[in-house]
Structure 1
Amino acid sequence: MPSASSAVSDSGRSVPPSLWRNADFRRLWVGQTASQLGEHTSLVVLPLFAVLTFDASAGELGVLRAVGQAPVLLLSLFVGAWVDGRRTRTTMVLTDAGRALVLGAAAAAGLSGRLGLPALLALAFAAGALSVFFDVAYQVSLVRLVERDQLVRGNSALEGSRSAAQIGGPAVGGALVSLLSAPVAAASNALFFALSCVSIRRMRRAEPIPERPEHAPRVWRRIREGLRFVAGDAALRAVCVASAAFQFSFAAVMTVYLLFLPRELHLSGTVVGLALAAAGPGALLGSLLAARLPGRFGYGVVLVSAAALGDGVFLCVPALHASSALTVPALLAVGFVFGLGGQLVNVAVMAVRQAVTPDRMQGRAAATITFVGMGVTPLGSLLGGVLAQEWGLRTGLLMTAAGMLLSPAVMALSPLARLGRHLPASHDAPGGVDGPQDPTRV
């Protein structure tokens, strides 16, 4: 299994030396890696804590996941409008400090025996809300740090850090919950977020912010401008619909999957963590390939084929049985292929979105797409819980996995499938709200 340090060298080979000589980019990379490690650990710790400690039902697990995902629906649009006029470094530092404090408090409550299911719900919501701020801010931060022709490689490097987190986070989370305790797992998450704060806080460049008119429009007006801009671009509309289809189905899949592995296949928490972590090596390879494949085959070909491969592989899981010696290797292979395809899609889509969006609209465009795509995940999680409870884990998993093929189908029928080997040009945002557009990079 590759280490985090190897991810640095491997990712470094795919990124021009000029990008890695940027000290602030390196600090962003380190902070992003630590933050993603904390997030991916917690994504396993909280559901497994509920399943293994509270014997949570399928419906309760669906509610827990939905509560953690609800802030995306409730806050994304406001966060996008807010981040566009703020320094992203400050936002990332404060949000990761907040996540460290929240998880530290959870660890203390767990050690004192006061951490129950209601507290887990509150923890999941708080961590989810802070994650919305961080995720929008780091995407905008990259655009303000690097040149346009470095966006794909910059995203590839940052997604490589997320891959390293996917390798270590689920395995660490599953092992800690299984071998030690949920409070120890929560405390480890707090340390990851604290490290992210330290690294990002050391960024020294005076971050340029797009100028705002003297009488800035109200937040609702700025939100409407972001919605209008994304809705007016055919490629971004397709990204929204495909993202919503994927996130809805994937949320349903994961709700059933986290029950299917320990209860139907009788796997321990450690093995569940390893099965989830298998997406990490695949995603790491995908982040490296994403810096090369679009330029060779075209963005459209890469997007559609990678989505079909990564999403379709989950259809193999319902056929697995606990008694088979191939079960665990098959789960690892499924995770690897899913991570590979998903990462290719993530990097390519993010680069397309950043390329077509003017600098002063980056936060709102990112938040609008997040709102549309991730906003449906609570409903998907609830549906997964209902299907598992009413139809059984195996049938529920088959039905939700089939739904994941909607995303590549949407891409294949959209302008995304026709994208060539070069990123499309930036479009002007709708005029009249934020004033004239500045054609220079901020």
Structure 2
Amino acid sequence: MSGASSKLWRDRDFRRLWAGQTVSQLGEHTSLVVLPLFAVLTLHAGAGQLGALRAVGQAPILLLSLFVGAWVDRWRTRTPMVLADAGRALALGAAAVAGLLGGLGLPALFVVAFAVGALSVFFDVAYQASLVRLVARDQLVRGNSALEGSRSAAQIGGPALGGALVTTLSAPIAAATGALFFALSFLSIRRIGRRESVPKRPAHPPLLRRHIHEGLRFVAGDATLRAVCLASAAFQFFFSAVTTGCLLFLPRELRLPGTVVGLTLAATGPGALLGSLLAARLPGRFGRGAVLLSAATLGDGAFLLVPALHGSPAVTVPALLAVNVVFGTCGQLVNVTIMAVRQTVTPDGMQGRAAATINFVGMGLAPLGSLLGGLLADAWGTRAGLLVTAAGMLLSPAVMALSPLGRPGRALPAPPDACAATGAHDR
């Protein structure tokens, strides 16, 4: 372990944040599998009801992100994180008890899914903003690498654990396990003792709507953050289209069974773990711009190989595994590097709003991308539709190349003057 990494891990508050975020992400990704299985296996929900349940759980990203970003910037980040953990633990715990007693119906499960989704928005925006207030700016890349590495591990282990618990025990017990994870995160994060540099609130704070508008204007007015926002939007739009195309192409054209399809898609998880490790070293060695452009181009371009696949599973499955490992590695390398850039160029008083604005714009286009993937598959065939949408993913690195993100250099950019960025009334 290098001296810089050792210094980071000697920080007790960072370790508490990392531990809390790790088990919280494990609880979140476990619940993403447990709640749908609860509906199908215990409540015998149909396909339409299951789709509606997933949509209800995802809706808070679009409905709440901007408001949460503005709210988080007004408070110590520990506050929304511990409240979100406590709320999710209570929601899943109540669902588990009601399920064991046979008193949980679909309407109540919809409420639980929305509550868990909404509180996850609070937690995710707050933990991204919290790192900037806990560690020095020259530690952001390593800190993000550690946090994103644990998130990747949760993405791999959470769904597998949730499915195993539902299969071997029961859906209510699996929900109770998710509640336990959130309770452990609550206990870890509430022990963070360092005072944060929360922006001083004026005697007459601006309306929340004005606070949100300031965040939108700040992201739109900064060339680097504007590029991050546009690149994220392009990626989410076309990646959603590609995902829809893959879910049609793999079983229909390549004749792969569902279990094999799931195995190939899961290969992004180990790749993401590798990308988190590389993100702690490569930008400092080769320069931020070179790493971003090469990783984004290689990772997004890897999907161009998928519509070219033919033949038996002995040929196509290893190729699909390789594509997803490359995509996971490069995608995580891009995510960690861009997050460090975004956090560095954003003043402390704007961290939550900047993260929420970028998440809102990027995720807001994802449903439209999914719709496009299905329409192209119907109109042109799955192979041609997948080829077009995979090519569209290269728009994201193109945006980076034409922006400050593509500039060479190893050092992170200097943050702007906080007062100029947030307005005099915020200080």
Structure 1 398/404 Cα, relative in aligned 2: closer, same or farther at 3 Å? same
1:27–1:199 contact (8 Å) kept in structure 2: yes
Corresponding residue for residue 218 of structure 2? 229
| Separation (CA, whole Å) in 2 of partners of 1:342 and 1:207 | 31
Residue 349 (structure 1) aligns with: 338
Q: Post-superposition shift, 1:204?
A: 2.0
Pair 1:376–1:98, CA change in 2 (3 A): farther
Counterpart of 1:285? 274
Structure 1 residues 201 and 260, CA, compared in 2 at 3 Å: closer, same or farther? farther
Residues 225-280 of structure 1, C-alpha deviations (whole Å, 9 max, x = no match): 11111111111111101101112223344455556667852133xx5554443222
Inter-CA distance 294–26: structure 2 relative to 1 (3 Å threshold): same
User: Is this contact kept in 1: 2:202–2:425, CA < 8 A?
Assistant: no
The CA distance in 2 between the partners of 1:423 and 1:335, in whole Å, is: 29
Measured against aligned partners, the alpha-carbon deviations of 1:292-350 in whole angstroms (never above 9, x if no partner) come to 11122211111121112222223444556795134444443233212111111111111
Q: Which amino acid aligns with 1:160?
A: G
Cα distance in 1 for residues equivalent to 2:100 and 2:28 = 21
Identity score, percent: 75
- Corresponding pairs, count: 423
Of the three residues 87, 94, 99, the one matched with 2:76 is 87
2:290–2:406 contact (8 Å) kept in structure 1: yes
Q: CA deviation at 1:89?
A: 1.1
Asked if 2 retains the 8 angstrom alpha-carbon contact of 1:175 and 1:273, the reply is no
CA–CA distance in structure 1, aligned partners of residues 426 and 386 of structure 2: 48
CA distance in 2, matches of 1:385, 1:236: 31
The reply on whether 1:310 has 2:299 as its aligned counterpart is: yes
The CA distance in 1 between the partners of 2:25 and 2:296, in whole Å, is: 22
Identify the residue that residue 243 of structure 1 maps to in structure 2.
232
Q: Which amino acid aligns with 1:56?
A: A
Q: For structure 1, which runs of at least 5 residues remain unmatched after alignment?
A: 1-11
Q: CA deviation at 1:92?
A: 0.6
Which residue pairs with 2:159 in the alignment?
170
Q: Tell me what 1:76 maps to.
A: 65
How far has the Cα of 1:26 moved from its partner?
A: 0.1
- CA distance change for structure 1 residues 147 and 430 in 2, over 3 Å: closer, same or farther? closer
**Equivalent in 392, 397, 403 of residue 403 of structure 1:** 392
The alignment's TM-score, normalised by the length of structure 1, stands at 0.83
- Identify the match of residue 376 of structure 1 among 362, 365, 381: 365
What is the distance in 1 between the residues matched to 2:178 and 2:382? 30
How far apart are the structure 2 equivalents of 1:117 and 1:262? Answer: 30
Q: Distance in 1 between matches of 2:162 and 2:386?
A: 23
Residue number in structure 2 paired with 1:8: none
Query: How far has the Cα of 1:150 moved from its partner?
Result: 1.0
Q: Give, in whole Å, the separation in 2 of the partners of 1:104 and 1:394.
A: 45
Asked if 2 retains the 8 angstrom alpha-carbon contact of 1:140 and 1:363, the reply is yes
TM-score normalised by the chain length of structure 2: 0.86
Q: CA offsets, 1:185-232, max 9 Å, x none?
A: 433322222221121122122333211222111111111111111111
Alignment match of 2:326 (pick from 334, 337, 344) = 337
Instruction: Give the aligned partner of residue 421 of structure 1.
Output: 410
More displaced 10-residue stretch of structure 1: 35-44 or 344-353: 35-44
SS at match of 2:140: helix
Preserved CA contact (<8 Å) 1:62 1:381: no
Distance 1:39 1:433 in 2: 32
